[in-house]
Amino acid sequence: MNVRKVALECLLTLSHTSTSIASVVDSAFGRYPIDGRERRLVNGLVYGVIRWQRQLDWVLNQFINPRFQLDARHRNILRLGAFQLLHLDGIPPHAAIYETVQLATSHLRKSSGGRKSAGFINAVLRSVQRKGRKLTYPPLDANPIEHIAISLSYPTWLVKRWLQTRGVSWTLAFCRASNQIAPLALRVNSLLTQREEVSQSLEANGIAATVSKIAPDGLVLENRTITAFDTPGEQTLKDVLNREDIYVQDESAMLVPHLLSPADARFIVDLCAAPGGKTSHLAHLMGNAGKLIAVDVSAEKIALLQKNCRRVGAHNIETRLTDATKADLEFIKTADAVLVDAPCSGFGTLRRHPDIRWNKTFEQVRTLSEVQYNLLKSAAQHIKPGGILVYSTCSIEPMENEEVVQRFLADFPMYKVENARRFLPDIPLSAITPQGFLQTFPHEHGVDGAFAARLRRVSTESNKADK
């Protein structure tokens, strides 16, 4: 199966569905017998085109008559070609153009004007080859919104929002960092082994790993992604990832469980637990002792959580199929700590999920903030005095983070914020906000954007939210 045909099929699927890019690519890998370098190329093409989609379309439109209305197939074939010309230095321009025209010929030959369409695509891509890198984007000083949105490939509404709330320098740095391909990070199962032992084991198989600078249980494998295996060493890594002493997880996510003081807790509840990364980490930090109840809203998610927890030997977990925004959560009233790892926009994970930027709207983020608040509200009413409530997201949006917590504190004055630094003493100073919240950014800390707040119930007084 031609790898560019597979990539095009993925892009066409993504153009008319809200399915995640990871699911679409994984599905294609399951249908077609592609391995090694071909697998790497499909992955790179699909993720790359989606990541740079806005920029690619702007460049292509400089060489296409505005009267032409391109359908999804023509548009995505052109994007594939332009991406190779503008972003993949390892593919010679003549090869990129030839393969893209061949792809067009193959896919369009049965339609009327197929040969003419292939000629059109050839002409446009040759123009991109000659002039694409020389084009001038809207100037940053005069039009920072359009400059960043086009040159770095982001939706206008998001760039405008970030510029208004954080300024030009932050927005440029964040957008650039979020366009980089994130390294593969591994969490080591501290119940079974130590980071140094796993690092040595990987090195013995030709896989270089470095100790995380921010996560006490983390290892980082630079220049590797979970879907790219094309050398004997990388095939070994693929096998290693199924070991029970390793869990693939971003370093920022590894920080959150420490905020629950799991080593001192006998009963913890995780209310949004799937796919199980933080749940299994909590189990390991608890020494597989005590009780850990993992809750999620669908049977499919619970099954995935159980599978992942079994693989890494997390044995003290009881699962419950429950919608935590609606159900009676009285069962948490004796818990020492409760984690609300809330559904969110995911804007902190754009390095790994570039499609998110195109699939979210401001109204969706606003709706998510209501869900997040309701999750906190549902849990808060049942937590015992002295109990801990940790709220976390993988977002960088204040609307989903600080604003949710501040609204919660106004309605539940019996809670107070405890500074995250007390529980994460070795992370950079810049990762703790003045309010004591954890907040990481890819351009500042080299990890995904993540937020967390540790809240302690200090009294039993009534609150506005109960009325």
The neighbouring-strand residues paired with 440 are 450
| pLDDT tier, 368 (very low <50, low <70, confident <90, very high otherwise) | very high
Higher pLDDT, 14 or 208: 14
Determine the average pLDDT of the residues in 338-360. Answer: 97
The verdict on pTM exceeding 0.85 is yes
Inter-axis angle of helices 232-240 and 195-204, to 10 degrees? Answer: 150
| pLDDT tier, 115 (very low <50, low <70, confident <90, very high otherwise) | low
Q: What is the 3-state secondary structure (H, E, C) of 293-330?
A: EEEECCHHHHHHHHHHHHHCCCCCEEEEECCCCCCCCH
The one-letter amino acid code at 423 reads F
CA distances from 363 to 16, 157, 369 (A): 20, 11, 10
Closest alpha carbon to 129 in 86, 67, 192:
86
Model confidence at 225: pLDDT above 80: no
pLDDT of residue 36: 77
Torsion-angle region of 452 (φ positive above 0: left; ψ -120 to 50: alpha; else: beta): beta
pLDDT of residue 280: 97
Closest alpha carbon to 53 in 29, 92, 87:
87
Model confidence at 423: pLDDT above 50: yes
Residues 433 and 220: their CA atoms lie apart, in Å, by 25
End-to-end C-alpha distance for the chain, whole angstroms = 62
Query: What whole-number percentage of the chain has pLDDT above 70?
Result: 93
Residues 159 and 357: their CA atoms lie apart, in Å, by 10
Higher pLDDT, 276 or 228: 276
Domains and CATH numbers, the chain: 3-134 (1.10.940.10), 148-178 (no CATH), 184-248 (3.30.70.1170), 252-466 (3.40.50.150)
Residues 110 and 442: their CA atoms lie apart, in Å, by 46
Residues 366 and 362: their CA atoms lie apart, in Å, by 6
Strands (E), 82-227: 184-188, 210-211, 218-221
Residue 79 near residue 147, CB atoms below 8 Å: no
Q: Which residues of 435-464 are buried (b: 16+ CB within 10 A; e: fewer)?
A: eebbbbbbbbbbbbbbbbbbbbbeeeeebe
pLDDT of residue 118: 87
Complete DSSP assignment for 26-92: HHHHHHS---HHHHHHHHHHHHHHHHTHHHHHHHHHTTS-TT----HHHHHHHHHHHHHHHH-TTS-
Residue 341 near residue 278, CB atoms below 8 Å: yes
Closest alpha carbon to 45 in 98, 102, 85, 101:
85
pLDDT of residue 113: 54
pLDDT of residue 109: 58
Residues 105 and 108: their CA atoms lie apart, in Å, by 5
Q: Which of 69-73, 114-118, 349-353 has the lowest mean pLDDT?
A: 114-118
Paired tokens of 432: 């703790």
Residues 237 and 240: their CA atoms lie apart, in Å, by 5
pLDDT digits (tens, 9 = 90+) for 34-72: 877 888 899 999 999 999 999 999 999 999 998 888 899
**Average pLDDT score, the chain:** 92
pLDDT digits (tens, 9 = 90+) for 425-449: 999 999 999 999 999 999 999 999 9
Query: What whole-number percentage of the chain has pLDDT above 90?
Result: 82
pLDDT digits (tens, 9 = 90+) for 158-170: 999 999 999 999 9
Paired tokens of 166: 């954080």
* Residues contacting 281, CB < 8 A, separation 6+: 187, 217, 247, 249, 254, 257
Paired tokens of 360: 């979210």
Q: Which of 136-150, 167-181, 204-218 has the lowest mean pLDDT?
A: 204-218
pLDDT digits (tens, 9 = 90+) for 276-294: 999 999 999 999 999 999 9
The one-letter amino acid code at 98 reads Y
Residues 254 and 214: their CA atoms lie apart, in Å, by 9
Report residue 321: phi and psi, to 5°: -90, 105
Model confidence at 273: pLDDT above 80: yes
Residue with the two structure tokens 């084991």: 201
pLDDT of residue 223: 64
* Residues contacting 465, CB < 8 A, separation 6+: 377, 380, 381, 411, 412
Q: What is the CA radius of gyration of the chain?
A: 24
Model confidence at 229: pLDDT above 90: no
